[in-house]
Each structure stands twice: as structure tokens, then as C-alpha cells.
Amino acid sequence: MKAETPVCQLLQRQSTDYRDWLWVGPPGDSWLGSAGGHLLSADRVRLHDWQTQGGVASGPFAEDLPAPAGVVLFWPKAHALGEWWLLWLCARLEPGTPLQVVGEHQGGIKRVLKVLAALGLGCRKLDSARRCSLFASQLDRVGIDPDAAWQQFEAAGLDLVSHPGVFGHGKLDDGTRLLLSQLDACLPEQGAVLDMGCGDGILAAWLARRGLTVTAVDVNGFAVEATRRTLAANDLVGEVCHADLYAGLGDRRFQAIVSNPPFHQERAVDHGPAGRLIAEAPEHLEPGGQLLMVANAFLPYPDLLERAFGGFEILADDQRFRVYRAVKRPEL
């Protein structure tokens, strides 16, 4: 089987036997499954696909982790997350475990040399092709607790907890701020609401503080843990689910769905998740229920909202972001 992504194509041409290795944060590429190994990822889609194919897959907050013959770390877009993975691997796995770090030049893989040097880990370049590079090192104890990467900060009168790799890490996103400014006038005083793509939990906590019954969902395991910690930090209650959009919610319906949906998959623009969020929203809303979402003004969501709901309104537009409101008609 041929690898599909440039980073996996680079790995495929190596002489390394990866059958008992650990893939950390990899892209979607069917070659990885054929090469063997175990998966470590915070992405619910990756975990589900790997487990469906009978592979061994774990999230970053799992207690048990197989002792691998080696580790391949796929360097992420969020460099702070890549640094966290290195600290986590050094703290959890045996010193001397072989480590390979691979990534695209456009994604900043070359800075790994400095990162590894700062941690006192040796490094050598194994290969470079397809605008990607592969480096080799080995794990060791570095004396830095990976939990130090968690940040707590205040925004919108709430204590927020965030982690590298979570959207808007360490600050309140301007789009979310605009969305929050519109919610009071739109939401009911009580009832069930869904925070789709919960990130660090700012919307979930804001909704729970208002007295609403909150369910929060995110495909990113770091976001799920961050939202749980944010709710706990504010003595608030909510259900938090690690899921791909509406998967796992069954036929549950809500009075409102609130979201600041992502539109990037690593560095590529990807309207797929937001498109599915909009298209499937009516199935998960009570009659008269509403979808309230914020998005960059240039994104093509008006047509999607029109098709799914038969109409919508723009509640706010600051030239960068727009807040949309779409209401489910009784006949939908």
C-alpha cells in the first residue's frame, strides 16, 4: 500500500520496521495501518477509524500505554503542542526509546532541532523529501512536567483553562467575544443547549452560568479535557463529550446550538465540519430551536444556512466576523 500524505511517503521509504512503534498525532493515511504500530492521538475521528480497523489506539489522557519499540511524532501546526508531546513522551516512556520526528517544512519542522537541543536531546537528520524532513533522537528524562503547559486565565468573568492545541489557547478569540455579546438577547432562560466545538469551554461555562443545561462536544481530546477543567474551575456543571460533531448524541434535541466552528484542518481550509454542523443542526433542534454561530465574514456559510433552515439573519458583523442566527421551522 502506498502512503498518501507527504510525511508518510517520507516514512515509507525508510528501512525502519515500524510494526511495534507508536504513531503520535498522525494525519489520516491508510498506510499507517498497513505499517503496523499503535496510535496515540487526541482526534476522535483518528481514534475511531483506527479502532474500527482493529488497531490499538489511545488518547493522551489514557492511563495505560503499550511500551513501544520506538515513537514517531508528527510535528503539529501548533508548535507548543509539539513541545508538549515531547515532554509527555519523555515523562511517560522509557529513556532510550528511539524517537523520530517528521513534519512539513511549511509547518515548521526545522525548528525541532532547537527544541530537542533545548531539552538536552541529541538529534540527527535522517531524510528530507517532498518538502518534509525526518529527524532521529531518543527519549530521556528532561525534568519538565508536561502538566505545566496547562494555562488558566480570566475572560468574560470566568476562569478558563486551556492547553496547547486547543483553539484560542490562552486568550479569548475575537469571534467568540462577538458571539457572546449577542447571546443574552437570543437564548431562553432555561432548557438544554449544545456547545458544538467547545474548545477551552468558554461558551459552555457562560451558558451553564446562565442556568442552562449544557452539553459540550469537541473532536479534540485536549479541548474536552480543557472544558471539563473550565467548568470545574467555575463550580459549574455540564456534560462534555469527545465526539465527531453529533455522533454519539443519538436523537437528542436542544433548544439552541451555539458554536464557533473551525475551518482549518492543520494548514488547509476545510469547510467540511462546519458544513455538516449546519446541515445536521435541524435534526438536533426542537421546533423553534435555533443555531447561533460565529464565523469569519468571508466564509461561504449563508448558502449552507439557507439550504438547511430556509433562512437566517445576521445578528452582528464587525467586518471580520459575523454572528448568524437560524431558527428551525416547525415543519422541518
The SS3 assignment for 8 reads: helix
Q: What is the mean pLDDT of residues 184-192?
A: 94
Among 313, 242, 308, CA closest to 275: 308
pLDDT at 264: 41
Asked whether residue 331 carries a pLDDT value surpassing 80, the answer given is no
Residue 8 cell numbers, joined:
508518510
- C-alpha–C-alpha distance, residues 126 and 137, integer Å: 10
Give 187's pLDDT tier (boundaries 50, 70, 90): very high
H and E: helices and strands count for the chain: 10, 18
Asked whether residue 324 carries a pLDDT value surpassing 50, the answer given is yes
Asked whether residue 229 carries a pLDDT value surpassing 60, the answer given is yes
- C-alpha–C-alpha distance, residues 332 and 329, integer Å: 6
Give 269's pLDDT tier (boundaries 50, 70, 90): very low
Query: Which residues in the chain belong to E strands, given as ranges?
Result: 21-24, 38-40, 57-58, 70-74, 98-104, 124-129, 132-138, 151-155, 158-162, 192-196, 213-218, 239-242, 254-259, 264-265, 268-269, 285-296, 313-317, 321-327
Mean pLDDT over each residue of the chain, to the nearest integer? 94
**CB neighbours of residue 166 within 10 Å:** 27
- Residue 162's beta-bridge partner residues? 151
Q: What is the mean pLDDT of residues 235-259?
A: 96
- C-alpha–C-alpha distance, residues 165 and 251, integer Å: 30
Q: Where are the domains of the chain?
A: 6-146, 150-327
Give 248's pLDDT tier (boundaries 50, 70, 90): confident
* Strand arrangement of the beta sheet that strand 98-104 belongs to: 57-58, 38-40, 21-24, 70-74, 98-104, 132-138, 124-129
Residue 261 cell numbers, joined:
466552528
Q: Are 145 and 91 in contact (CB under 8 A)?
A: yes
pLDDT at 213: 98
- The model carries a pTM of 0.94
DSSP letters for 179-208: HHHHHTTTS-SSSEEEEES-TTSHHHHHHH
- C-alpha–C-alpha distance, residues 72 and 37, integer Å: 10
Give 65's pLDDT tier (boundaries 50, 70, 90): confident
pLDDT at 39: 96
* pLDDT tens, position by position, 3-38: 999 999 999 999 999 999 999 999 999 999 999 899
Which is it for strands 254-259 and 38-40: parallel, antiparallel or unpaired? Answer: unpaired
Quote the crossing angle between the two packed helices 272-280 and 301-309, to the nearest 10°. 20
Asked whether residue 265 carries a pLDDT value surpassing 60, the answer given is no
Q: Are 240 and 198 in contact (CB under 8 A)?
A: yes
Structural fold of domain 150-327: Rossmann fold (3.40.50)
Percent of the chain with pLDDT over 90: 88
Give 66's pLDDT tier (boundaries 50, 70, 90): confident
pLDDT at 272: 78
User: Which H or E run contains 79?
Assistant: helix 79-92
Percent of the chain with pLDDT over 70: 97
User: For the ranges 56-70, 122-136, 190-204, 298-312, which has the lowest average pLDDT?
Assistant: 56-70
pLDDT at 63: 81
User: For the ranges 48-62, 196-210, 231-245, 301-315, which has the lowest average pLDDT?
Assistant: 48-62
pLDDT at 263: 63
DSSP letters for 163-178: -TTSTTTTS--HHHHH
Give 186's pLDDT tier (boundaries 50, 70, 90): very high
Query: Which residue has cell 467540511?
Result: 272
Domain spanning 6-146: which CATH class is it, in words? Answer: alpha beta
* pLDDT tens, position by position, 137-177: 999 999 999 999 999 999 999 999 999 999 989 999 999 99
Asked whether residue 271 carries a pLDDT value surpassing 80, the answer given is no
Asked whether residue 136 carries a pLDDT value surpassing 50, the answer given is yes
